[in-house]
Structure 1
Amino acid sequence: MSTNSTYMLTQLLTDKSALGKSRIIHTEQNAALADGEVLLKIQRCAITTNNITYAAFGDSMQYWQFFPTGVEGWGHMPVWGFADVVASTVQGVETGERFYGYFPIASHIRMEAERVTERGFYDGSEHRRTLVSAYNQYTRCSADTAYSQPLENYQMLVRPLFITSFMLADFLQDNAFFGAQRLVVSSASSKTAYGTAFCLKEFPQVELVALTSERNRAFVEGLGCYHKTVSYEELETQPADLPTTYVDFSGDVELRARTHHHYGDALDYDCFAGSAQNTGVTVDAGLPGPKPALYFAPVQIRKRNADWGPQVVNERFNAAQASFIRHISDPGHQWMKIVEEEGFAAAQTLIGKLHDGKIDAQQGRVIRLA
């Protein structure tokens, strides 16, 4: 791209007050770069329930600050994906290289590349300096041992969810499961819940009970990670004879109340892991047992970086992720069906459906932007 040329920037903006509502805008941009800048064209991204969940926490978790829009009330929903460098003034970041990382739903992004290594670079833009650094890192695909071009879709879909799953499983284990011998997992068919259960299968001392809808029962039983599958209607028929931790991926206030009342004194901990449909941790003083506690993956990542060092954390995560991707991408394993769509209008429709809970749990949705 010539430094004196222009390019058309396409962006999908989300209404912060109504996450299912979005709009597409187009603006002509000057392609000239300042020293230290790179311009990337975003090729593809994955859009999942987790994107809606984190966007719903919005400013309280600084998610709208990653890609500010300058438009009052409208934000850039962050997603994980792949982008190619189309222009660079940074030594060590070359035109044509492909990077994996955290991007807005947009055609292009301009960043200030710093801390450039063989592994990649960090975006050092002023507005991102106080944000969680793990989200500012862009991984060079040619140097990423976990990268496989044929498995790009799985990496986009699984890696950001699986880091949540991996660190949640580690958080529970790190806290000795809060004294529990049974984990009751709501929305057990969700991808993040499944990833967590996959990691926890190494800890047979805790019984994993899947809570799901009756229509998803056979699907959840087929995952092979839960010891027992229970429909929501059957909750009150289950034994409450063991210390129990509730791992909540549903955010359903009524279900939380039923769970607390049913397990009573046996409930040791209520871990709210997030939901697209209900992101508020409602603390009801009338509920028996522990108050719901929000789990946030970056907190556990920071702890383990201090405990083990970032290199060990990365090695352990890559090994677990590789095992999970091998498992789910096996042609004989039908857990997730990849659905690819093209264009910003498709992304707009998908976000609305995810927000309303109208996407099949077995689908992994990918958008080709370029």
Structure 2
Amino acid sequence: MMQLQTRRDDLAHTRIVSHPLPALTAGEALLRIDRLAVTSNNITYAAFGDVPHLRYWDFFPTGHQDWGHMPAWGFATVEHSTVSGVEAGERYYGYWPVATHAVVQPIRVSERGFYDGYEHRQTLTSAYNQYQRCTTDAAYRPETEDLQCLLRPLFITSFMLADFLEDNAFFGAEQLLYSSASSKTAFGTAFCLRHASLQQTGLTSARHQPFVQGLGCYGNALDYDSLPGLDAGTATVYVDFSGRQALRQQVHSHFDRQLTYSCFAGSAQSHDFLTPAEAAALPGPKPELYFAPYQIRKRNADWGAAEVTRRFNQAQLAFYDYVQDPQHRRLSTTAHHGLEAARSLIAELVEGHINPQQGHIVRPIGT
């Protein structure tokens, strides 16, 4: 069992650690991790790993205070199991460490899949403990496994964020203003709201502006230097995927009272926390951290879990078709074989040196 561990105080610094494959005890299963998507989203998990209601570092403990397991989404195959209903050879989609193998304790086993029942995970967010059996997943397509690894964990945030904004009547805004508009979660949100009757404006770097304009999700795609030229009298919701405090300050100062809501939805470019004093000093509304599981919980109560899944699957498959449209090269995937290749990829992600048109899939075993 080989694991890629990350310095919790220096996310670009990683190491590969090897352990013998464990002997299973009753109630456990060993899975071989076949493929994982590693994106800026994973860097966000690591950057916010110690936030009390997130606790991303706690899902896969390493036993070392300074080193953590960066989690990622993807597919794994059961190699050995002591649990009835979880059989060798079955494939599951879920939340894994960046490693060659993982041991889980399946509970609540059903046709749909199982939950990991290890005690340390029971106080963590339930959505991350669920493992979906591929043969019963209505949205699973063997030919789109890479896209599912890459987009599904991001798109659930996009889908539920779009629903949250719509559910709140866009807080009375006439415009949604996105930072890091090239990020997959940002343009997934814009895709879900592409038929909404308000302006969607994407802010991005000058070098990414043509890509963002070509996505076809935003009414306007502007570089960051164009922000002062936006109409400050337009009621605006700021959807922040960059996490950059200087940019947040600029947006709040520019729109001031016309900023009806400020939503901190991710951190593609910065891993700095917004302190209470910084939040209080900003003009306009206090930035609010968006957390998808809260809206999932609300909609499970409103619609029922089956209807939430149906709506999400429908939107997810439409998004796959959208990014794969042969007339537009909106997204392509690149495979990285082995954990050594994953180390280089993570360093590039931390530094922000990744082409937004590329999606990156890690195959930990190397094949």
Determine the structure 2 residue equivalent to 1:156.
Answer: 149
Aligned residue among 177, 183, 186 for 1:190: 183
Give the C-alpha shift of residue 241 in structure 1.
2.4
Determine the structure 2 residue equivalent to 1:46.
Answer: 37
Determine the structure 1 residue equivalent to 2:302.
Answer: 307
Determine the structure 2 residue equivalent to 1:292.
Answer: 287
Deviates more, 1:150-159 or 1:301-310: 301-310
Question: Distance between the aligned counterparts of 1:355 and 1:295, measured in 2?
Answer: 22
User: Considering only aligned residues, what root-mean-square deviation do their CA atoms show, in Å?
Assistant: 1.2
Per-residue displacement from partner, 1:258-292 (whole Å, max 9, x unpaired)?
11121122111111111133232242444311121
Superposed, 1:1-370 pairs within 5 Å as 9-30=1-22, 32-60=23-51, 61-204=54-197, 206-279=198-271, 280-282=273-275, 283-370=278-365
Q: Percent identity?
A: 56
CA contact (8 A) 1:281 1:294 kept: no
Per-residue displacement from partner, 1:286-325 (whole Å, max 9, x unpaired)?
4311121111111111111122111111111111101001
Determine the structure 2 residue equivalent to 1:5.
Answer: none
CA contact (8 A) 1:181 1:244 kept: yes
* 2:77 aligned counterpart, secondary structure: strand
CA contact (8 A) 1:80 1:156 kept: yes
TM-score, normalised to structure 1, is: 0.95
Give the C-alpha shift of residue 47 in structure 1.
0.3
* 2:144 aligned counterpart, secondary structure: helix
* 1:355 aligned counterpart, secondary structure: helix
Deviates more, 1:213-222 or 1:320-329: 213-222
Question: Distance between the aligned counterparts of 1:240 and 1:72, measured in 2?
Answer: 47
Give the C-alpha shift of residue 238 in structure 1.
1.4
Question: Distance between the aligned counterparts of 2:327 and 2:78, measured in 1?
Answer: 36
Q: Which amino acid aligns with 1:336?
A: L
* 1:19 aligned counterpart, secondary structure: strand
Determine the structure 2 residue equivalent to 1:4.
Answer: none
Deviates more, 1:279-288 or 1:195-204: 279-288
TM-score, normalised to structure 2, is: 0.95
CA contact (8 A) 1:260 1:289 kept: yes
Determine the structure 2 residue equivalent to 1:3.
Answer: none
Give the C-alpha shift of residue 44 in structure 1.
0.9
Give the C-alpha shift of residue 183 in structure 1.
0.8
Give the C-alpha shift of residue 353 in structure 1.
0.8
* 1:20 aligned counterpart, secondary structure: strand
Q: Which amino acid aligns with 2:86?
A: V
Question: Distance between the aligned counterparts of 2:109 and 2:220, measured in 1?
Answer: 48
Give the C-alpha shift of residue 331 in structure 1.
2.6
Give the C-alpha shift of residue 202 in structure 1.
2.7
Question: Distance between the aligned counterparts of 1:103 and 1:286, measured in 2?
Answer: 39
